[in-house]
């Protein structure tokens, strides 16, 4: 039985090598810090240049470490880069991010982030690039009020939303998909 498994593994190596050799190179991210995108020929549900992609990222989790971007920021930047890198026009990508809970620390300006964590905020470059690319960056004003966070300590790329859940309902009613982070 052991020899059979080794033989099977040895005969599969050329197949794996061929599949890997045919994988295209990644498309560089248009937003610095975002992950690259690898287009796979023939993949199901590949980006469609004619489709309008409307998504709101519900960002509630802080980054695992202060020197890393929050997952919601990273994946919004990565998904927008992937769609644009595959030829989906800016008019066909409508992205929004709503922050509440521990994720709000990702929105702190550098001075406030440095005071809290001793380093610059790694989210700010991607947030600024997302904003320049047309994404809406929103924060729950109910949360920042309840936590006594001064809105002047947040990135200038952020707009105050009345309330996170009302924002999510509104965007969903307007046809946006919700991605949770």
Sheet holding 177-180, edge to edge: 159-161, 136-140, 93-99, 53-59, 177-180
Domain hosting 158: range is: 53-180
Does the residue 152 lie in any domain? Answer: yes
Q: What is the mean pLDDT of the chain?
A: 90
66 domain residue, yes or no = yes
For residue 156, tell me if it sits in a domain: yes
Give tens-digit pLDDT for 52-96.
999 999 999 999 999 999 999 999 999 999 999 999 999 999 999
> Is 80 contained in some domain?
yes
Which tens digit of pLDDT belongs to each residue from 10-21? 444 444 444 455
User: HEC profile for the chain?
Assistant: CHHHHHHHHHHHHHHHHHHHHCCCCCECCCCCCCCCECCCCCCCCCCCCCCCEEEEEEECCCCCCCCCCCHHHHHHHHHHHHHHHCCCCHHHEEEEEEECHHHHHHHECHHHHHHHHCCCCCCHHHHHHHHHCCCEEEEEHHHHHHCCCCHHHECCCCEEECCHHHHHHHHHHCCCEEEEC
Residue 6 lies in a domain: no
Name the residue with tokens 């890997």. Answer: 20
Structure tokens at 181: 């982070």
Residue 103 is assigned to a structural domain of this protein:
yes
Q: Would you say residue 12 lies in a domain?
A: no
- Look up the CATH number of the domain holding residue 167: 3.40.1260.10
**Residue 14 pLDDT:** 43
Overall domain count for the chain: 1
Could you read off the pLDDT of 105-141 as tens digits, one per residue?
Answer: 999 999 999 999 999 999 999 999 999 999 999 999 9
pTM for this model (two decimals): 0.86
């Amino acid at each position: 039985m052991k020899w059979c498994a080794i033989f099977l593994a040895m005969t599969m190596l050329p197949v794996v090598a061929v599949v890997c050799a045919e994988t295209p190179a990644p498309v560089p991210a248009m937003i610095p810090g975002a992950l690259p995108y690898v287009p796979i020929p023939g993949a199901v549900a590949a980006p469609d240049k004619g489709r309008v992609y409307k998504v709101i990222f519900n960002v509630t989790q802080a980054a695992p470490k202060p020197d890393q971007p929050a997952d919601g920021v990273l994946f919004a930047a990565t998904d927008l880069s992937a769609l644009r890198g595959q030829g989906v026009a800016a008019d066909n990508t409508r992205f929004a991010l709503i922050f509440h809970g521990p994720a709000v620390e990702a929105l702190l300006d550098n001075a406030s982030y440095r005071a809290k964590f001793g380093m610059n905020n790694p989210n700010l470059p991607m947030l600024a690039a997302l904003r320049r690319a047309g994404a809406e960056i929103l924060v729950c004003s109910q949360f920042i009020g309840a936590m006594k966070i001064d809105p002047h300590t947040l990135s200038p790329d952020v707009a105050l939303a009345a309330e996170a859940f009302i924002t999510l309902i509104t965007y969903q009613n307007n046809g946006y998909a919700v991605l949770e982070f």
